[in-house]
Structure 1
Amino acid sequence: MFDLFSILKWLKDHELASTWADVSGFLIAIFGFAATLWNVRSSKNAAIKAQEAAQAARDSIRRFDTIVDFSTAIAVLEDIKRAHRENGLSTGLPERYATIRKQLIVLRASSADLPEEHRTVIQNAIANLSTMETQIDKAIAGKSELPVAKFNSLLSRDIDKLVDILIGLKADQEKQP
């Protein structure tokens, strides 16, 4: 171990310290500077961890919102199928189609982390809804019949694919810490 007197003698010889107070001040300054550096590094690491935790929370909320949006879209599509069966052709149908189509467009655009195959499913559902809305408008104008069975078959297929995506999203959400 260091011989404290030899250190003091060296400091005095080099005119760095003349008393024990000078030595203790010198040592306090060195240890204080080292402690400051240690605390700065710890603070930086804590800030990085806090930033990562905040990002993880934002990602979790975004995934949860996506799950809710998918669930809502599926429920609305089921409601439209029910309306086809119960009411057949009604003047409120085009508006419902337009509303769910817009919701799916927003869902596709706002869910940046969805794989391309999921985006394709959403795009196909949007295209089907657009085509059906056009046919409903023609039927309301009296220019054609409403093919309820065909529409419900297409809606059922789209719903099934959206449910598959929803199940995958829920499973991914459960895996996240």
Structure 2
Amino acid sequence: MLEYLTQALAGLKAHELASTWADVSGFLIAIFGFGATLVGVRKSKNAALAAQQAAQATRDSIRLLETIVDFSTAIAVLEDIKRAHRETGISSTLPERYATIRKQLIVLKASHVKLSDDQLAVIQNAVANLSTMEDHIEKALANKSVFPVTKFNFIISRDIDKLVDVLTALKTDQEVRNGAEQT
């Protein structure tokens, strides 16, 4: 073995690559050090990717939670509109309330939370219904006529039920994500 190392050093000297064992050992240390550096860089890169994925998952979770809160608020506002229909009938504040809830639903539809086509259709249908009802209320206010409270509350109740289904699906998704994050 010693003879093999002596021949190797002689070969390195002949090619002017090393003149002493110190040169050889320095070269080997540099090679192994470079390899260890590459391994460290790879581990750092993997850790950075994992941190980036965790940050994205947190952003998605927050976005989903905000969407859940917005859906809950929209449903509560629709319930308030139904109550206002029953208590006051037609009033000049109703068109504003309809416009506000329509805008909120449009924002929900455009949110960055992935909603299915059916869920998007539920939101779009509610927006269309609210727009039509707002138009009827505006006309009734202008003509000082009555409007069909029972029919409007039925339509709003149906839209609320469908929005509650979407809300329930979003909450289930949130619970599944929270369960996956804990494991």
Fold shared per TM-score above 0.5: yes
- Summarize the alignment of residues 121-140 of structure 1 with structure 2, pairs less than 5 Å apart: 121-140=122-141
- TM-score, normalised to structure 2's length? 0.89
What code does the residue aligned with 1:95 have?
E
Please name the residue that 2:158 is paired with.
157
Q: Distance in 1 between the 2:3 and 2:86 partners? A: 99
What are the ranges of 5 or more consecutive residues in structure 2 without an aligned counterpart?
A: none
Alpha-carbon offset, residue 40 of structure 1: 1.3
Please name the residue that 1:52 is paired with.
53
What code does the residue aligned with 2:133 have?
M
Q: Distance in 2 between the 1:69 and 1:163 partners? A: 12
Deviations 1:14-71 (A, max 9, x none): 2133323212211210110110111111111111111111111111111111111111
- Summarize the alignment of residues 6-21 of structure 1 with structure 2, pairs less than 5 Å apart: 6-15=4-13, 16-21=17-22
Superposition RMSD on alpha carbons, in Å? 1.5
Report if aligned partners of 2:67, 2:108 keep a CA contact under 8 Å in 1: yes
Q: 20-29 vs 159-168, which deviates more?
A: 20-29
- TM-score, normalised to structure 1's length? 0.92
What are the ranges of 5 or more consecutive residues in structure 1 without an aligned counterpart?
A: none
Please name the residue that 1:167 is paired with.
168
Report if aligned partners of 1:90, 1:140 keep a CA contact under 8 Å in 2: yes
Please name the residue that 1:28 is paired with.
29
Q: Distance in 2 between the 1:81 and 1:8 partners? A: 96
Please name the residue that 2:143 is paired with.
142
